[in-house]
Amino acid sequence: MIPFLDLHAQYRSVGKDIEAAVVDVLRSGEYVLGPQVTAFEREFAAHCGAREAIAVSSGTAALHLALVAAGIGPGDEVITVPMTFVATVAAVLYAGATPVLVDIDPGTWTMDPVEVEAAITPRTKAIMPVHLHGRLADMGAIVALARRHGLLVIEDAAQAHGAERDGKRAGTFGDIGCFSFYPGKNLGACGEAGAVVTDRADLADAVRLLRDWGQAAKYEHVRLGFNLRMDNVQGAALRVKLRKLDEWTQKRRDVAALYRELLEGSGLTLPAPAGHDHVFHVYAVRTKERDALRPALTAAGIGTGIHYPKPVHLQPGYASLGYGPGAFPESELMGLQTLSLPIFPEMTSDQVREVAAAVRRFSEGARDAA
């Protein structure tokens, strides 16, 4: 059995250190925000190459607070993609603004800058690219477009901790970057957690205020705020794991490189090669046979995922956005074709070979049947 993701293996490698750090927090009596969170903010900002990091309670909170801090609200439009986890679009709605969706580029599977340009209106305030699966979107084109039109760039970097291009890391290309530390993420907490990173002191101050009830000082509520703070326990656990992140990212890239070597020519469309701009949160392949390949892999004892089967605009909970089937053909096609193979830093090359062999057996069988 090869699981899609093995958090037990990760825990075996860092569990002792996490337990010691968490026990210290439990004994300290400081549970919400606190010194571990403050230290994690400093260390995570340094890892990203950002001036400031503000720790919050989830990736969704990071997106929501980034939007509110940027002054985005009712009447404003925010351009983002439907091929993402729903949180990206939900955050825009939480802020009271209007999500305007654009399709992905079939080559990169991320936001198509040409589509963005066509969607800009006088009400557009921000562009929210998503670094899907851990691969940076086309930030050069997107940031240039935003600057030309006076728009903010808010990166959904929930899947892309440490992805790098031209010496810059995910979250620092635009005005503000949003991270999730959901347990299965490349940097995962022992519960819910997230962070915002930015070089802009005004945005950092606003997020800090908003996450903690709009309090400038105890019981001084200078604006309407939220309770979206990070727990000190999560700060402690994340500090331990952050020390391993670069090593884990390299291991993910090694797994991806081996998959590429073993699966090239198998008839599947493979993700981009393992460069610095991809941290392989997900190793997604594409094939028209996805709905047959997945059960074949399950039968072979191999766990898989689909990221994501149904783009946001086709989710019943988002029907009020007013887009129907056919609105975003590339995202819809990807939803039908994409399959995520197991990937995690502790995955052995034998496990990668076993997955690749099962995929190849299926592809050859499908070819023989055709």
Please give the Cα distance from 41 to 303 (Å, whole number). Answer: 34
Burial class of 146 by CB neighbour count within 10 A (0 to 12, 13 to 18, 19+): buried
**For ligand PLP, which stretch binds (CB under 6 A), given 139-147, 154-162, 219-227, 261-269?**
154-162
Q: How far is the CB of 362 from ligand PLP (least distance, A)?
A: 28
**For ligand PLP, which stretch binds (CB under 6 A), given 52-60, 72-80, 289-297, 339-347?**
52-60
Please give the Cα distance from 51 to 28 (Å, whole number). Answer: 28
- Comparing CB distances to ligand PLP, the nearer of 197 and 358 is 197
Q: Which residues of 217-229 are buried (b: 16+ CB within 10 A; e: fewer)?
A: eeeeeeeebbebb
Please give the Cα distance from 312 to 82 (Å, whole number). Answer: 5
- Comparing CB distances to ligand PLP, the nearer of 59 and 305 is 59
- Tell me which DSSP letter residue 321 carries: G
Extract the tokens encoding 326: 């056919």
- Report which residue type is found at 144: A
Residue whose pair of structure tokens reads 């046979």 in the numeric block: 289
- Comparing CB distances to ligand PLP, the nearer of 56 and 359 is 56
Please give the Cα distance from 63 to 65 (Å, whole number). Answer: 6
- Contact residue for ligand PLP among 10, 36, 80, 84 (CB under 6 A): 84
| Residue 158 in contact with ligand PLP, rule: CB under 6 A | yes
| Residue 171 in contact with ligand PLP, rule: CB under 6 A | no
**Residues 6+ positions from 203 with CB-CB distance below 8 Å:** 66, 69, 70, 175, 176, 196
Extract the tokens encoding 112: 């198509």
What values do phi and psi take at 216, rounded to 5? -80, -35
Q: How far is the CB of 181 from ligand PLP (least distance, A)?
A: 7
Q: How far is the CB of 297 from ligand PLP (least distance, A)?
A: 22
Q: How far is the CB of 369 from ligand PLP (least distance, A)?
A: 36
**For ligand PLP, which stretch binds (CB under 6 A), given 17-25, 81-89, 98-106, 262-270?**
81-89
| Residue 197 in contact with ligand PLP, rule: CB under 6 A | no
* Strand pairing category for 52-56 and 77-80: unpaired
- Contact residue for ligand PLP among 10, 36, 60, 363 (CB under 6 A): 60
Q: Which residue is nearest to ligand PLP (CB)?
A: 59
Burial class of 266 by CB neighbour count within 10 A (0 to 12, 13 to 18, 19+): middle
- Contact residue for ligand PLP among 18, 76, 78, 85 (CB under 6 A): 85
- Comparing CB distances to ligand PLP, the nearer of 57 and 232 is 57
Burial class of 12 by CB neighbour count within 10 A (0 to 12, 13 to 18, 19+): exposed
**For ligand PLP, which stretch binds (CB under 6 A), given 42-50, 53-61, 269-277, 326-334?**
53-61
| Residue 65 in contact with ligand PLP, rule: CB under 6 A | no
- Contact residue for ligand PLP among 34, 59, 171, 342 (CB under 6 A): 59
- Contact residue for ligand PLP among 58, 337, 338, 351 (CB under 6 A): 58
Residue whose pair of structure tokens reads 């992805």 in the numeric block: 163
Interface residues for ligand PLP in 107-136 (CB under 6 A)? 130
**For ligand PLP, which stretch binds (CB under 6 A), given 43-51, 139-147, 155-163, 262-270?**
155-163
Q: How far is the CB of 80 from ligand PLP (least distance, A)?
A: 10
CB count in 10 Å sphere of residue 55 = 31
Q: Cis before residue 94, ω within 30 degrees of 0?
A: no
CA distances (Å), origin 340, targets 283, 286, 297: 5, 9, 11
Q: How far is the CB of 184 from ligand PLP (least distance, A)?
A: 8
Binding-site string for ligand PLP from residue 287 to residue 306, where x marks contact by CB under 6 A and - marks none: --------------------
- Contact residue for ligand PLP among 98, 159, 186, 338 (CB under 6 A): 159
Binding site for ligand PLP (CB under 6 A): 58-60, 84-85, 87-88, 130, 156, 158-159, 180, 182, 194
